[in-house]
Amino acid sequence: MTDDSLPLEATLNLETATIPWRELQRFFAAGRAIAVAPELDLVKVGAELSRDNADQFKAWMEEGKVDAVSDTQAQAWFEADAEVWALVIKPYVLVQGHQ
């Protein structure tokens, strides 16, 4: 079975991983690290980004559930040497802190 035969969400689920925040600094510096609220499903958010679902992203952004990683959050993760869940949806990296 190839990834092409899997539904998008299943493929994306296989591509999620925990990673030290420090390894994502270059994405943050480039403005390409997107914070996903803990109450959202990271894979679902990735699927909607892949589908270019602008309406859903606008709604999540208005609710404060999806947005660029803030300087404050980046600093907190950096100082805590935190590991985060990450999912690459080029050119972005979706990032979700552990609950």
For 22-49, what is the mean pLDDT?
A: 96
Tokens of 75: 């600093």
CB 96 within 8 A of CB 67: no
d(CA 99, CA 54): 27
CB 32 within 8 A of CB 93: yes
- Identify whether 91 is preceded by a cis peptide bond (ω within 30 of 0): yes
49-75: pLDDT as tens digits? 999 999 999 999 999 999 999 999 999
The pLDDT of residue 4: 60
pTM: 0.89
Residue 1, pLDDT above cutoff 50: no
Report, in this order, helix, strand and coil percent for the chain, each rounded to 5. 45, 25, 30
CB 45 within 8 A of CB 56: no
Q: In whole angstroms, what separates CA 51 from the centre of its chain?
A: 15
Looking at residue 87, the DSSP 8-state letter turns out to be E
The pLDDT of residue 98: 74
3-24: pLDDT as tens digits? 566 788 888 988 999 999 999 9
Residue 99, pLDDT above cutoff 80: no
